[in-house]
Chain A
């Protein structure tokens, strides 16, 4: 069913800020881009861990803390 203009804008808005799930292929590409040469046997394990991390990142992003409301560079308790 064709989207009306308004519905398309909503769909774009929903996708905004949501990371696509990594795949075995994207993990291979990203590791290569990061300069890491790991045997293919590692890829599935890395993917599983990356998905866990992505869930943590989604939890963080959902909180939407204003970047100016706290420093990212202060390390004392």
Chain B
């Protein structure tokens, strides 16, 4: 929604007294309520807490103090971030009897210390295990560009909350494409940082060796600011590159199974960037290794709930988890070993190109009534396969930024930019260049 103000613009208005945090947060909450659960992406609104905090931000402004660079900016979080006094459901009813969180997740605390105001929690696939945000317990989140289509997942609610202009930023997670896939399908910007770069404290885990905290937004500078706040002044690992950025498209695995609607816009985008292509050997093995790691770690984490009552889980998640419990440890260790090996090999790939790109998802969002996609000529469930281009990158631990392709498209299509580990400033610079060239733009959903 390009007409909605950015987080930076909102904060500037609050700090200058042109508007108040109470006004901005009240507006976000009202909009979420008016849209309803399926269309806003929110599962739980925290009106009382939000309005108290917003009032506190306004008091600081009235007193001539600076509430911070995100003063009064409303934001949401996927429902696996701890919120003090609330149950962290992780999108699962297996968590309904869990203890109330005693404190906010660190990422929430850091954004609020910078003046932002948490207004609610957002829908996701159960436990983060899916790419569609069709949740048997908390409902399906609709794609704002076509309510008959999925929003992508696992963090679909967080992407939709941003795409509809309800909030300018959402915090989410990415295990295997959890925020990149919905960013692509709903036409927003998604940041999946380098593994370990942003704080995971107080975020319910799924696969500890892949999970990262990330963010979704409509504006690149908003996301850069959120990242700066969450890193608490940690020094950048590097962005020594100056001058022209060398882009390269990843082929082979990342060129197979692309849908008809993605092919022509992607080729046009590539042509504008010089048509330089690279192979990323062993991507298929990387995807296999990621799948094995997820199955084994996810199942191990949820073993107590599976032992207690497997029927509490929605069937697709339950069956995947139970299968994960039966994996031999040797296979899990082989997957981890491959992960270490390919990370070492990948460092050399970035001697040839600064920023690599791939589609973030194969094409348009699948229909809710028939959530399938085509893979190797067969129709297969989108729930478990929409992340075919994001999964290998997760295994490698690399940072990625998803941007919507510009153009007159029937539905959003997303590009995944990838850099070497720790080179997020370079990714942001590349993304800015693509937006300035008119190659990428955030589309507005229909009114």
Using CB atoms and an 8 Å cutoff, list the residues of chain A in contact with chain B.
27, 30-31, 34-39, 42, 45-50, 52-53, 55-57, 59-61, 63, 65, 67, 69-77
Contacts and interface: CB of A to CB of B under 8 A. Distances in A.
Given A36-B307, A60-B288, A53 B196 contact: no
B397 interface: yes
B282 A72 contact: no
7 contacts: A34-B325, A34-B326, A36-B307, A36-B310, A49-B323, A63-B282, A77-B397
Given A30-B326, A60-B338, A42 B319 contact: yes
Contact of A36 (B295, B306, B333, B421): B306
Interface in B72-97: none
Contacts of A31: 322, 325-326
Q: Which 3 A-B pairs have the closest CB atoms?
A: A77-B397, A45-B319, A49-B323
SS class, residues of chain B in contact with chain A: helix
Interface of B: 194-196, 209, 282, 284-285, 287-289, 291-292, 295, 306-307, 310-311, 315-316, 318-320, 322-327, 331, 333-338, 340-341, 343-344, 384, 396-398, 421-422
Contacts of B341: 65, 69-70
Contacts of A76: 195-196, 397
B323 A77 contact: no
Contacts of A74: 340
B326 A72 contact: no
Contacts of B311: 38-39
B334 A77 contact: no
Contacts of A36: 306-307, 310, 322, 325
A60 B209 CA distance: 18
A30 B398 CA distance: 36
Contacts of B289: 56, 60
A36 B323 CA distance: 11
A60 B319 contact: no
Contact of B284 (A39, A45, A48, A59): A59
